[in-house]
Amino acid sequence: MLPYGGSIRLGDNCTVNPYTVIYGHGGVQIGDNVRIATHSVIVSANHVFSDPDQPIYQQGVTAEGIVIEDDVWIGANVTILDGAHIGHGCVVAAGSVVRGHHAPMSVLGGTPARVLKKRNAGDLVTPLP
């Protein structure tokens, strides 16, 4: 059984686009100026499945929580798993699966997500109008 309750804290000036799902069972903290693209899933709980003789749904859950710091861009179809911590200024590529702790200003991508590069001043070739 899932531990109902929990919390979701959404900072100032954030966008959460259509078909995004956020489960706050273990607590989700989202900083300021975060952009979350469509069809992303943020789940701060996980099923326990260590006993093969007992149905998974009867084994309970863990709930560590998720932290997404300020100024993060999460691409479309990203899944963020329980226990993830995404540092300030990170960019998460579309379709990634994020778990674990990621340092600020990292560009993350893949399944599981890993650091592809670090953001640097001047990364944009052409500024947007």
Q: What strands, in cross-sheet order, belong to the sheet with 97-98? A: 21-23, 41-43, 79-80, 97-98
Q: For residues 71 and 119, what is the distance between their CA atoms, to the nearest angstrom?
A: 12
Q: Is 47 a catalytic residue?
A: yes
78: its two tokens: 């990203």
Q: Which residues contact 57 (CB under 8 A, 6 or more apart)?
A: 1, 47
Across 12-40, b (16+ Cβ under 10 Å) vs e yields eebebeeebebbbbbbbbbbeebebbebb
The one catalytic residue among 47, 85, 88, 101: 47
Active site residues per annotation: 47
